[in-house]
Structure 1
Amino acid sequence: MTAKRSELLMPAGNLRKLKMAVLYGADAVYLGTPDMSLRTRSEFTLEEVMEGVRFCHEHGRRAYLTLNLFSHNKDIAKLDEYIRTVQKVRPDGLIVADPGIFQYVRDHAPELSLHISTQSNICSWLSVRFWRDQGADLCVLAREVSFAELREIREKCPDIKLEAFVHGAMCMTYSGRCLLSNFMAERGANQGNCANSCRWNYKLHLALKDGTVEELNITDENRDLFEFLLEEGCRPGELMPIEEDARGSYILNSKDLCLMPRLDEYLAIGIDSLKVEGRGKSEYYAAIVARAYRMAIDD
């Protein structure tokens, strides 16, 4: 343990998941409503949001609301009503990503504690200092930040809270700025409607670039003769080319994040909040992951 106790922050996709997370060890949860959160599949009603925040406070825990969409003009008209709702709910913080929304909330509800979402792609101490100077209370660092970078950011930014992901899905792009879902399903990932296209079932097809068909035997010497095609499980016969550069191809998602083996290092440098991804996961997931990390942090 360190002198500075790190917070275990768990996802809450609905009221039951929120209660599971709290009862199984979360110090805090993050939740949202469909209109203004990056999870349009959120199962919270306003009454349940208020009950959830109240439940957290009754158990000595914290609750953060999400306002982390990238706003279009049509979203701005909803902001005043949303801010009034947030003021009524009285969460412990509001998670935002859009600079315009950040400033709007600062101007209209200066009493709210503002956290900068991972969607803002904060990868350096310079970005952290920028948001600190704008009045942010906490920065959620991008998953792309290495541990060495994280340690340097902590050293150079001791006067603002830092949050880092320790468990959950890794997006194939910089912290969720993905267009694969738009291309495959016409569902905008950056508007909270990601179809998780990177997790679908695919088959790999190969063909000679000259169009001939024969038994394929790929070697380092002849691989440039071939093109690689993906077939998605629900679209038989629709072949999509895969292109790659010298570093490879990135169409599919990476292995899920699990920093349990390195948790002591994160605790040692004083990361304020350890975040678990997964508002769309099950109640069992919320409970078992919260319990596992609670035991690891307290050990």
Structure 2
Amino acid sequence: MTEIVSPGGSHTKAVTAAKYGADAVYLGVPFTSLRMRQNKVKTFDEVEKTIKDIQSLGKKAYLTMNIFPRNQDIKIFESMVEKVANLGADAIIFSDPGTFNIIKNYNSKIPLHLSTQTSILNKEAVKFWYDLGVKRIVLARELNIEEIKEIKQYVPNMELEIFAHGAMCVAYSGRCLLGEYFSGRDGNKGECSHVCRYNFNVYVQEEKRPDKFFKLKEDENGSYLFSSKDLCIIERLGEVLPYVDGLKIEGRSKSEWYVASTSLAYSHTRNKILEGEQPNSNIKNIVYNIPHRPYWEGFLFNNIKNSPDSEESISYDTPGPIKTKTFFGMILDEYINFEGKKYFKLIPKRNIFINDEFEILTTSGIKNIKVLDLLSKDKQKINKAHCNMSYVYIYCDKNIDGYSFLYK
């Protein structure tokens, strides 16, 4: 069955992904991950605990070691490989050919996955890495479904993974130098500063008035010349399932709410397609409640050669709740019994009052609940919880489980 491979930018996010339907979770190794700056799993004790907690839920843990190191980085890369060699991960994701032998030298048995950063675009490149012993390739985002079919037919035993959801990079499969130029942070070594999403003031020059510049305006926030739409293929998931072994969700730097929502929506939709049933729209459509830029299907169903160049190809429709908070609190697996009632620990993300009504995202779907009571962390009754509180206890009108999210 095609795996849902979800992001684990922290221990909590990784466990959330595993509980909400991900079959595998990818998490960064310190100093060697392309999301190194955002990575919250910062010690090898944390890496080991996260791996074990993911696997205890019957899911797989993949480690990302996918930077493009320079000469001075090789020694530290090798020392990081040595540290993770015996942590029990299910695979290592790498990108640079120079790191291939380093990883194999310390753990010849661990499965290796080739990162999308390597920009694998053709069947001969896939065959090359298959012959070297790579188990899975995360294909370049520029490929369309017909090319993927042909690759699968040519190298049927190579596992193929594609990105299914999340932010797209303006550069060619992530090989970007803008961050290094603008902010001195090398995106190819884990320091991406998302320059492509900066607000740029852009000026045009008219041919006969070379000394006069006219400012190009798009909206009150500036212009977004580089920033792409967000990828979302959930509406056409059935068309890719026969040809890929993994569907990757981008977003190690995003919230637990995002990880839970996307993992649940994609795993549920995949399962229903494979069972020959219609997905529950209330679960599948959670992806439209997540803050996002306008969605599109990337190049999977659009050949890059046929992409229109005109202004008509750009959508200015409302993209979704880009800046609207939809995530109001995370309910943990911890609870107390107080006056004969079960109160769960809640990390509030905004003001929450008694008698507030919310939708709640659980591992089995969406419920409507009403807040009946709140306790402070020292078990005193309160009327209001707010984001400056580290946690409170919540009692609701319906049974709830840990690892749930208040939203809307």
Shift of 1:171: 0.9
Give the match's secondary structure for 2:204.
strand
Equivalent of 2:162, from 135, 155, 164? 164
Residue 221 of structure 1 aligns with which residue?
none
Give the match's secondary structure for 1:50.
helix
Taking structure 2 as the reference length, the TM-score comes to 0.62
Residue 234 of structure 2 aligns with which residue?
260
Residue 95 of structure 2 aligns with which residue?
97
- The alignment covers a number of residue pairs equal to 268
Ranges in structure 2 where 5+ consecutive residues have no aligned partner: 273-408
Question: Which structure is richer in relative contact order (CA contacts within 8 A, separation 6 or more)?
Answer: 1
Distance 2:217 2:194 in 1: 16
Contact 1:172 1:251 in 2 (8 A): no
Quick one: structure 1 residues 31 and 204, their matched pair in 2 at CA, closer, same or farther if it must change by over 3 Å?
same
Residue 291 of structure 1 aligns with which residue?
264
Shift of 1:33: 2.5
Residue 37 of structure 1 aligns with which residue?
33
Distance 2:262 2:242 in 1: 21
Shift of 1:88: 2.4
Contact 1:15 1:48 in 2 (8 A): yes
Contact 2:197 2:227 in 1 (8 A): yes
Distance 2:235 2:159 in 1: 23
Distance 1:22 1:152 in 2: 32
Runs of 4+ in 1 over 3 A off after TM superposition: 211-214, 228-231
Equivalent of 1:275, from 243, 248, 263? 248
* Greater strand content: 2
Superposed, which structure 2 residues align to 1:12-27 within 5 Å?
12-27=8-23
Distance 1:43 1:54 in 2: 17
Shift of 1:189: 1.0
Give the match's secondary structure for 1:139.
strand
Residue 174 of structure 1 aligns with which residue?
172
Residue 11 of structure 1 aligns with which residue?
7
Give the match's secondary structure for 1:268.
helix
CA deviation map 1:7-41 (0-9, x unaligned):
00001111111111111110000001331111122
CA deviation map 1:165-195 (0-9, x unaligned):
1011111111110112122222111111111
Quick one: structure 1 residues 266 and 211, their matched pair in 2 at CA, closer, same or farther if it must change by over 3 Å?
same
Shift of 1:118: 0.6
Shift of 1:229: 6.9
Give the match's secondary structure for 2:104.
helix
Equivalent of 2:185, from 184, 187, 201? 187
* Greater helix content: 1
Q: CA RMSD in A?
A: 2.4
Distance 2:51 2:100 in 1: 22
Superposed, which structure 2 residues align to 1:102-121 within 5 Å?
102-121=100-119
Q: Which amino acid aligns with 1:36?
A: T
Matched, 1:28 2:24: yes
Shift of 1:97: 0.6
Contact 2:32 2:189 in 1 (8 A): no
Contact 2:163 2:247 in 1 (8 A): yes
CA deviation map 1:187-221 (0-9, x unaligned):
1111111110111122333333433549x7xxxxx
CA deviation map 1:232-268 (0-9, x unaligned):
x99x9xxxxx9xxxxxxx9502111101111001113
Shift of 1:151: 1.1
Shift of 1:63: 0.3
Give the match's secondary structure for 1:78.
helix
Taking structure 1 as the reference length, the TM-score comes to 0.84
Contact 1:202 1:230 in 2 (8 A): no
Structure 1 window deviating more from structure 2 (105-114 vs 280-289): it is 105-114
Contact 1:69 1:97 in 2 (8 A): yes
Ranges in structure 1 where 5+ consecutive residues have no aligned partner: 217-227, 237-241, 243-249
Residue 88 of structure 1 aligns with which residue?
86
Distance 1:40 1:98 in 2: 16
Residue 72 of structure 1 aligns with which residue?
70
Shift of 1:135: 1.1
Give the match's secondary structure for 2:85.
helix
Quick one: structure 1 residues 75 and 293, their matched pair in 2 at CA, closer, same or farther if it must change by over 3 Å?
same
Residue 305 of structure 2 aligns with which residue?
none
Structure showing greater Rg: 2
Distance 1:67 1:199 in 2: 25
Structure 1 window deviating more from structure 2 (175-184 vs 54-63): it is 175-184
Residue 198 of structure 2 aligns with which residue?
200
Contact 2:114 2:134 in 1 (8 A): yes
